[in-house]
Homo-oligomer: A and B are copies of this chain.
Amino acid sequence: MNQSTAPLPHGVDPAWLPSFALRPLGSRRIRIAGSGPLVDTVRGEVAAAVAEHGGVLVDSQEPVDLDLICGNGGTEAFTVTREDRTTTVHANGGPGLLYGFHHVVRRGEAAFDGTWTERVAPRQAIRMLDHWDNVDVHPVMGQVERGYAGGSLFYDNGVVRADLGRVAAYARLLASIGINRVGLNNVNVHRTEARLLTDLLPDVVRLAAVFRPQGIKVCLSVSFAAPVTLGGLATADPLDPEVRDWWARTTADVYAAIPDFAGYVVKADSEGQPGPFGYGRDHADGANALARALKPFGGTVFWRAFVYNHRQDWRDRTTDRARAAHDHFAPLDGRFDDNVVVQVKAGPIDFQTREPVSPVIAAMPSTRLAVELQVTQEYTGHQKHVCHLVPLWREMLSFRPWGEEEGTVADIAAGRASGPAGGVVAVSNAGDDPFWTGHPLAQANLYGFGRLAWDDRLTSAEVLDEWIGLTFADPDVRGPLHRLVDDSWRTYEKYTAPLGVGFMVRPGGHYGPDVDGYEYSPWGTYHFADRDGVGVDRTRATGTGFTGQFPPPWRNLYESPETCPDELLLFFHHVPYGHVLHSGTTVVQHIYDTHFDGREEVVRMAATWAELEGRVPASTFRRVTELLGEQLRSATEWRDQVNTYFHRKSGVPDARGRRIY
């Protein structure tokens, strides 16, 4: 049996590829034409499915229900045609056939009904998941930085796992949602992890071999200081010939071992990581130095734009972390080599529950850009809270930086709007937890990220609906699950930091409320609440000028509290507590209302989940029930801390007389 369809270890959840989801396909007559490693993967899938569900793998030209036909090209697109009782997938190459196979699985019985044709192609060429996994257990961050799903799938306490069976199962899940790149290690590259590039390369070879049959290429996060720390050179200056030679030789060694290696991910001059600034160079110099080493082999540098002063003085109200990426990167547009992708966090701060879209995305028309999202729930409840992030990502990817007539963020990333194609990247939420993602319902975020990266036009409800149908056998779970999950991101937003102001989380861990936790810190994340008002003035007129980094119409819409969307008001403006929102309520009453309401919505979520007892697997039911208890406890704590904080500061009583402590 092909490794990719090996049975899961005992107790591990099958996620969205359980046995019943393969039955519509596996119970039919299927033919496969073509050759190559990915065709072999599909053949293995089909063989396993028909063996389980009573179908037949047919070799001859007799009539079949499903005809999978693959050419010798390499594209990811495919066509599905249904006519004369046969569903035919035509793919130009292995990747297309693999994605076509999973497309048919997703369609289920509907794939074998009626007469129709569809041409399916990914909207983004690069659909990548980064893994902030450490080889060594980090003393503070543990095995997986910002990981909330147990240990790493790849590493365990200092070494790559001997048994990569679960990595193979993970790769299969990722292939089924169209992921085609993975970053294998934490962007904060510590000592042992740096060596994955050199003497630990054989471990990377093993991992690449597990991802390869699923059409997934691997990347490594590398340290910009590697020429010094690994190479023993006196400098890592990107313009130094010896440094360039070191990167060239080292990269050649990587490709000798992994010919389809995808490239490097680099976090440079960011939160203490080394970078080109240390040598008086800029980020184009830095990125291009690595790009030139990768160029001969077709590799790519994913260079993160997450550069800001993390030792800011809270007293200094002119420095604005939101401005930093644009200030650093926009002037470099046009200077990056064509195998550099600048990887930009979707928002200007850091994966908050609500942020505007980063203005960098509209500011670099001559640069390949990848939009970076966060599936792991660092600021959104640590996979203890149900917080369906697909609507957030959908909103950001659909945002039109130049207004209604122009392209979306997804168009820019895809090269359809301005400039060359980059892609979409996210930080994975998976680990060695039996449910993969800690919270079983957080699987929907991983699934949804892949699907949106493939096609940003899918609605959040459609994607969730696919996931529900694949994951749960009982059709009656669909309604309750939509009710519970659909708006859970907005619920989370309600009971946490209000109106786009962000943070208010406990420092370090980022779980649970601490309104002033970052208020006097060097991290540049402040709310400036005083007895009169709250929010950050980022206007051109009186604030940090951040609004000026947006093109029209947003530079003007954000500039005035009258036109700024309510949900971002405190991101852009410092307003009095009595300021009246477009919704008609004052800021402080909005804070009270949303915090009371958000917490009550969690009560209802728990009641909705309780309806599902007996309709979902018992282990899933138990885990989610338990976590909803924690979510309710935490939401109550959020409600009370935030309300008490603003009541103490503003002195304004709740108009509805509810209890504020």
Contact = CB atoms under 8 A, between A and B. Distances in A.
A649 B520 contact: no
Interface in A614-661: 637, 640-641, 644-645, 647-651, 661
A648 to B, nearest CB: 4
Nearest to A651: B531
A651 B516 contact: no
A535 interface: no
Nearest to A652: B531
A530 B641 contact: no
A530 B529 CA distance: 12
A315 interface: yes
A513 interface: yes
A516 B506 CA distance: 12
A118 to B, nearest CB: 54
Nearest to A521: B514
A578 to B, nearest CB: 14
A474 interface: no
Nearest to A513: B520
Nearest to A520: B641
A642 to B, nearest CB: 10
A531 B649 contact: yes
Contact of A644 (B515, B520, B647, B649): B520
A532 interface: yes
A661 B314 CA distance: 9
Contacts of A648: 529-531, 649
Contacts of A640: 315, 520
Interface in A505-534: 513-516, 520, 529-532
Nearest to A661: B315
A46 to B, nearest CB: 50
A55 to B, nearest CB: 54
Per DSSP, chain A at the interface is: loop
A531 B533 CA distance: 12
B532 A651 contact: yes
A315 B649 CA distance: 16
Contact of A516 (B139, B515, B531): B515
Interface in A305-353: 314-315
Contacts of A516: 514-516
Contacts of A661: 314-315
Contacts of A314: 661
A530 B637 CA distance: 19
A92 B376 CA distance: 73
Contacts of A641: 520
B520 A650 contact: no
A639 to B, nearest CB: 11
A632 to B, nearest CB: 15
Contacts of A637: 520
Contacts of A531: 531, 648-651
A315 B636 CA distance: 11
Contacts of A139: 139
Contacts of A644: 315, 520
Q: Pick the most buried of A514, A515, A651: most chain B CB atoms within 10 A of its CB.
A: A514
Contacts of A645: 520
Q: Pick the most buried of A520, A529, A530, A640: most chain B CB atoms within 10 A of its CB.
A: A520
Contacts of A514: 516, 520
A516 B644 CA distance: 12
Interface string A28-51: 000000000000000000000000
Nearest to A512: B520
A496 to B, nearest CB: 14
Contacts of A650: 531
B315 A530 contact: no
Q: Pick the most buried of A647, A649, A650: most chain B CB atoms within 10 A of its CB.
A: A649
A315 B530 CA distance: 22
Nearest to A532: B651
Contacts of A530: 647-649, 651
A529 B647 CA distance: 11
A649 B520 CA distance: 15
A583 to B, nearest CB: 25
A649 B651 contact: no
Interface in A527-558: 529-532
A343 to B, nearest CB: 33
Contacts of A649: 530-531, 648-649
A139 B138 CA distance: 12
A508 to B, nearest CB: 9
Nearest to A642: B520
Q: Pick the most buried of A513, A515, A530: most chain B CB atoms within 10 A of its CB.
A: A530
Nearest to A515: B516
Interface in A374-410: none
Interface in A254-296: none
Interface in A577-632: none
A648 B317 CA distance: 15
A285 to B, nearest CB: 34
A511 to B, nearest CB: 14
A640 to B, nearest CB: 6
A645 to B, nearest CB: 8
A651 B651 CA distance: 12
Nearest to A530: B648
26 contacts: A139-B139, A314-B661, A315-B640, A315-B661, A513-B520, A514-B516, A514-B520, A515-B516, A515-B520, A516-B516, A520-B637, A520-B641, A520-B644, A520-B645, A530-B647, A530-B648, A530-B649, A530-B651, A531-B531, A531-B648, A531-B649, A531-B650, A531-B651, A532-B651, A648-B649, A649-B649
Closest 5 pairs between A and B when the two form their complex, measured CB to CB: A530-B648, A315-B661, A516-B516, A531-B531, A520-B641
Given A514-B516, A515-B520, A531-B650, 10 more contacts: A139-B139, A315-B644, A315-B661, A514-B520, A520-B637, A520-B640, A529-B648, A531-B531, A532-B651, A648-B649
